[in-house]
Amino acid sequence: MTTSNYATERETTEGKVFTVTGGDWDQVVSGTDPINDERIVVNMGPQHPSTHGVLRLILELEGETVREARSVVGYLHTGIEKNLEYRNWVQGSTFVTRMDYLSPIFNETAYALAVEKLLGVTDDVTERATTIRVLMMELNRISSHLVWLATTGMELGAINMMLYGFREREYILDIFETITGLRMNHAYVRPGGVAQDVPDDAIRKIRDFLVLMPKKLKEYENLLSGQPIWIERTQNVAVLDTTACVALGITGPVLRSAGLAWDLRKTMPYCGYETYEFDVPTHTDGDVWGRYLVRLAEIRESLKLVEQALDRLKPGPVMVADKKIAWPAQLAIGVDGMGNSLEHVAKIMGQSMESLIHHFKLVTEGFRVPPGQVYVGIESPRGELGVHAVSDGGTRPYRVHYREPSFVNLQALPAMAEGGLIADVIAGGASLDPVMGGCDR
């Protein structure tokens, strides 16, 4: 008489439990799980149109149901944080702007605020420079949300939304190009202020945009909000309540769609946001539908902030007065649309030999930052974007680390996806709005 190597399974409140003393696990489970052999593992990504960049999802499926989901990141790793240690403090702006490439102004502003805090010049940044930062960030928030709306619409079958979202985003990128010379990756916000002033034709373009955008938002709502397929694909899908959001460190529209009005512009103000009039939109369902409504409402609030910032733009300098810190801010573009104009170069060289030497040293070597460490957090389109900057007293950062919301928010994907349908992984992942350039850094 032979004895079994396996103890009998028993049912508990946690499900079926096996006590195994030997043998192969698959054989043990297959004896009591009739569909064990039918589970399949699928790689969604890293090259996949529904993963918002090079994100890899490993899904274990039981039919159409997701039993296990794992996120794999790192396919867009750029080493930006490490590269910052080999460039001077001002050159860092050129690197950080490329992380979350859909919200470059936020990357730059958070970095600049951290450097200014280390330097002790936070209160010396001019009113015009601070107002320009708010103006640019809120325009950038709108453009980022438009990309989210466009790509999510395409992924859920609303192809027209893709066209309309990118169409309106182009208008904002034209404004950015007029102000900074570039559509993306601007390196416009620098420690001490901004690289150059806002020209008058950019102000006119922004005023026109403030008239145009509210009409477009109504078109989006007419297209999506009452559409039965859109409602079916978003309501009660990828639900994440407030408790889960807080436990996982989730911030931004995902947290606010669960009912918690946590927005650093209100709770921990910076750049004078406490003096602006705006609301923090929230929803209570914590699903894809709620995140859609919150982002639409945030676009409207950003439009209010842009209008207030325009009204506050008073004449004045856009860089701190301290010439040992102030990067040249009154720049002029050359005839080729790049570099500096000959008139600007002649002005620099014609001032004095000492001025030219100082300009050369400031650009090549940079300024020294007192030793210390700081943390600065701002509200990006995806949540809390934090910068931990450390200085050893030199002209280069000792360490700069970003608390990037895309990386943190991706923790929620298994909680949202497991137990749901594979189609809902697309909607849930999209509703997090991850940008892998920021996630991987």
Interhelix angle 127-155/104-119, rounded to 10 degrees, is 150
What mean pLDDT do residues 36-57 have?
A: 77
pLDDT over threshold 70, residue 263? yes
Cβ-proximal residues to 416 (8 Å cutoff; 6+ apart), any chain: 238, 239, 240, 428
Among residues of the chain, what percentage have pLDDT more than 70? 88
Asked if 400 and 110 count as a contact pair (C-beta separation under 8 A), the reply is no
pLDDT digits (tens, 9 = 90+) for 204-250: 999 999 999 999 999 999 989 888 898 999 988 888 899 999 999 99
pLDDT over threshold 60, residue 160? yes
Question: Tokens representing 240?
Answer: 């994440």
Q: Which pLDDT score, from 0 to 100, does residue 402 have?
A: 93
What mean pLDDT do residues 166-176 have?
A: 93
What mean pLDDT do residues 186-202 have?
A: 89
Question: How far is it, in rounded angstroms, from Cα 169 to Cα 167?
Answer: 5
Res. 288 pLDDT band, cuts 50 70 90: very high
Pick the CATH number of 80-325+367-440 from 1.10.645.10, 3.40.50.720, 3.30.70.360, 3.20.20.70: 1.10.645.10
* DSSP codes joined into one string, 72-128: E--TT---HHHHGGGS-TTTHHHHHTTSSTT-HHHHHHHHHHHHHHHHT-GGGS-HH
Angle at 421 between CA 415 and CA 425, to 5 degrees: 55
Distance of CA 213 to CAs 142, 234, 296, 346, Å?
10, 24, 11, 42
* DSSP codes joined into one string, 359-374: HHHHHHT-----SEEE
What mean pLDDT do residues 414-418 have?
A: 88
What mean pLDDT do residues 304-311 have?
A: 94
Q: Which pLDDT score, from 0 to 100, does residue 46 have?
A: 82
Q: What is the mean pLDDT of the chain?
A: 86
Q: In this predicted structure, which of 39-48, 111-120, 175-184, 290-299 has the lowest mean pLDDT?
A: 39-48
Q: Which pLDDT score, from 0 to 100, does residue 338 have?
A: 67
What mean pLDDT do residues 91-116 have?
A: 92
pLDDT over threshold 70, residue 35? no
Cβ-proximal residues to 64 (8 Å cutoff; 6+ apart), any chain: 421, 422, 423
pLDDT digits (tens, 9 = 90+) for 374-384: 999 999 999 99
For the chain, the residue count is 441
Q: Which pLDDT score, from 0 to 100, does residue 330 have?
A: 59
What mean pLDDT do residues 133-154 have?
A: 93
Distance of CA 73 to CAs 52, 179, 426, 434, Å?
12, 34, 17, 11
Q: Which pLDDT score, from 0 to 100, does residue 349 have?
A: 72
What mean pLDDT do residues 187-215 have?
A: 91
Q: Which pLDDT score, from 0 to 100, does residue 282 have?
A: 92
Nearest CA to 57 among 68, 39, 70? 70
Give the range with max mean pLDDT: 157-161, 271-275, 340-344, 356-360: 271-275
Sign of CA dihedral 311, 314, 315, 316: negative
All CATH 1.10.645.10 domain ranges in the chain, comma separated? 80-325+367-440
Report the run of H or E that residue 218 belongs to, with start and end. Answer: helix 200-224
User: Comparing 366 with 332, which gets the higher pLDDT?
Assistant: 366
With 0-12 CB in 10 A as exposed, 13-18 as middle and 19+ as buried, what is 122? middle
Res. 83 pLDDT band, cuts 50 70 90: very high
